[in-house]
């Protein structure tokens, strides 16, 4: 789970960084490009968020299986960290959409 969190965080921050770089530089995409920097950034952030959600679902299923065999397990800190990063990723996504 922690490796998925790291990968998702990297995708989200890289996508947001690309977006901000092109926004600050004032560069626009050319008409002959298939996808511009804004679209590419949105795709990276979306992939990061989707992979984070899928990893969280898989992790919770594994924790439930373990709890069935070994009752009394503590709560997973990784899920709380994933939720926090997902909230930040959603805020970044919304900020990118709002500043069209």
Per residue in 11-47, pLDDT (tens digit) is 999 998 988 888 777 666 556 666 778 889 999 999 9
What confidence score (pLDDT) does residue 69 get? 87
Of 55-59, 71-75, 92-96, the one with minimum mean pLDDT is: 71-75
Least confident of 5-9, 41-45, 66-70: 66-70
Interacting residues of 54 by C-beta distance below 8 A, sequence separation 6+: none
Sign of CA dihedral 44, 50, 53, 57: negative
All residues at 6 or more sequence positions from 74 whose CB lies less than 8 Å from its CB, including other chains: none
Average pLDDT on 51-79 reads: 88
pTM of the model: 0.80
Q: The tokens of 6 are what?
A: 């790291």
Looking at residue 100, its pLDDT comes to 58
Q: Of residues 52 and 67, which shows the higher confidence score?
A: 52
The residue ranking higher by pLDDT, 60 or 75, is 60
Q: How many CA atoms lie within 13 A of 60 on its CB side?
A: 10
What number is the average pLDDT over the span 48-69?
91
């Amino acid at each position: 789970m922690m490796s998925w969190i790291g990968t998702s965080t990297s995708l989200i921050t890289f996508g947001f960084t690309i977006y901000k770089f092109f926004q600050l530089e004032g560069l626009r995409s050319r008409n002959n490009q298939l996808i511009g920097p804004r679209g590419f950034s949105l795709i990276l952030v979306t992939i990061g968020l989707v992979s984070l959600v899928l990893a969280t679902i898989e992790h919770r299923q594994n924790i439930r299986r373990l709890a069935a065999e070994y009752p009394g397990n503590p709560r997973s800190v990784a899920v709380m960290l994933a939720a926090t990063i997902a909230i930040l990723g959603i805020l970044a996504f919304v900020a990118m959409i709002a500043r069209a």
